[in-house]
Amino acid sequence: MAVSVAREHWSSRFAFLMAAIGSAVGLGNIWRFPFITGENGGGAFILIYVFTTTVIALPILIAEIMLGRMGGQSPIQSMMLIVRKHKKSVLWVVLAWGGTLGAFVILSYYSVIGGWALKYTLLAVTDSFANLDPAASGTLFGNFTADPVSLIGWHTAFMAINVGIVVWGLHKGIERAVVFLMPLLFLLLIGMVVYAVSTPGFDQAVDFLFTVDFSKVTSNTFLVAIGQGFFSVSVALGSMMTYGAYLDEDINIPKSAVIIVIADTSVALLAGLAIFPLVFSFALEPSAGPGLIFVTVPIAFAQMEAGYLVGTMFFILLSVAAVTSAISLLEPAVAYIEEAFVLSRRTTAILVGTACWMVGIATAFSFNDWSSFYPLASSGVLVDKTIFDVLDFVATSWVQPGVGILMAVFVGWALSQETVAEALNVDDPTALWFRFWTFLIRVVCPLAVLFVFAGAVWPELVASLMPSSGG
């Protein structure tokens, strides 16, 4: 049985916000959000995204942080304490197990991609993008990902950085890191946007991101917006519950959650304003995914006068975003193992980090030697997916939505409104905002996340239920 461990608390609300924002802001903010914004109607998509994030991701974020503070331990131990105290079924603890394991799996492959960011930071610092043309850039990235030794080496470096931070605990490790890294991230991002304003492609980038084009909006746009908001804010992975466990009782959770969501969305939009002016200025293709960050953008750095400086800033920014998210993915499992086996923080962080690193090796091989190995091909499920694809699909399309639904139902229906109001320091449970939030967490959030889950697992079925054209 897990042992109750006296937990440190955040030294300030600012430290908590920096950590939580760091958890939410990751690699997806830097490349995926700007692209899907332009692809789905620009300003129209932003309006839909803000609306769906406010009514779906934000309520679950509030619930997750609240559960963490109620339990005051790791997600698993917190849920054990909560269900015992309030006489609920121990089966509810599955949501904490799911979030913790989901975070572990995601970190295993996220660390490999984080290693790419570190590698390209070194390339930028050593001015390796000078005179880079499209063919050379593609070859550079292709040769890098084709070398499993190199991928594993950078994966090792990235994981070591995160373990090194988590080893030192809350105050000396996580707090010190995020209080320095998150302001640095914002400064670097703003600096890149300031530079981007002077480029000839800035106006085109603004049109790409913000022109309201409802002709591109379909019912599927709402599905994309819900999914992006839910996953971008980093809910249902145990990270926010763990960070909530370190939160003082007098901190206003709903207000803090609003700040986290606003900051997360702002970073995504600023990233678009920093990246796409460069892409359009040099007539490059604004394609999504790793191709944009690791192939297309370096070509722009090679052609601009300040390419060395801007390229270095950009990949440091990318690495910072990756690290702040990764430490929040490592912390839930470390916190639980520390409690369950009464081990030192140093030993626990190294053990969990090593285990995660070992799983990540399979992802590294998925880009080269095992790129044609589809582990579930004979089962008829996920037949064309590599080990990396399977891990990503299971964690983000099955586990994370499932945990989100269970969390919303547990807080909305299993716990009494009086208990929830007390946990959120609500003086008047009849207050309009609290009643509205309760309605969202009880009805809207479970149904919406279930819709996202169904769209990922049974896309053909969901597509058949939705109109095929917008208006």
Phi-psi sector, 268: left (phi>0), alpha (psi -120 to 50), beta:
alpha
The HSE-up count of residue 319 (CA atoms within 13 Å, CB side) is: 24
Instruction: Give me the residue label for tokens 């269970």.
Output: 406
Under 8 Å CB-to-CB from 7, ≥6 apart: which residues? 72, 73, 170, 245, 246
State the Cα–Cα distance between residues 240 and 332, nearest whole angstrom.
9
Q: Domain 13-371: which CATH class?
A: mainly alpha
Using only C-alpha atoms, what is the Rg of the chain? 22
Question: How would DSSP label each residue in 297-311?
Answer: HHHHHHHSTTHHHHH
Under 8 Å CB-to-CB from 145, ≥6 apart: which residues? 116, 151, 367, 368
Mean pLDDT of 29-43: 82
Encoded tokens for 279: 């892409």
Q: Is the pLDDT of residue 302 over 60?
A: yes
Q: Is the pLDDT of residue 470 over 60?
A: no
Encoded tokens for 31: 């490349």
DSSP class of 466: S
Confidence of residue 4 (pLDDT cuts 50, 70, 90): low
Q: Is the pLDDT of residue 322 over 50?
A: yes
State the Cα–Cα distance between residues 111 and 364, nearest whole angstrom.
10
Phi-psi sector, 394: left (phi>0), alpha (psi -120 to 50), beta:
alpha
Q: How do residues 323-359 score in pLDDT, each as one tens digit?
A: 999 999 999 999 999 999 999 999 999 999 999 999 9
Q: What are phi and psi of 26, to 5 degrees?
A: -140, -160
**Which among 59, 44, 49 has a CA at the least distance from the CA of 29?**
49
How much of the chain exceeds pLDDT 70, in percent? 95
Confidence of residue 452 (pLDDT cuts 50, 70, 90): confident
Instruction: Name the range with the highest mean pLDDT among 213-227, 291-305, 449-463.
Output: 291-305
- This prediction has a pTM of 0.94
Domains in the chain: boundaries: 13-371
Average pLDDT of every residue of the chain? 91
Mean pLDDT of 287-310: 84
State the Cα–Cα distance between residues 189 and 192, nearest whole angstrom.
5
Under 8 Å CB-to-CB from 250, ≥6 apart: which residues? 425
Interhelix angle 253-281/43-52, nearest 10 degrees: 160
Q: How do residues 136-157 score in pLDDT, each as one tens digit?
A: 999 999 999 999 999 999 999 9
* Of 73-82, 139-148, 223-232, 405-414, the least confident: 223-232
* Of 80-89, 273-282, 408-417, 440-449, the least confident: 273-282
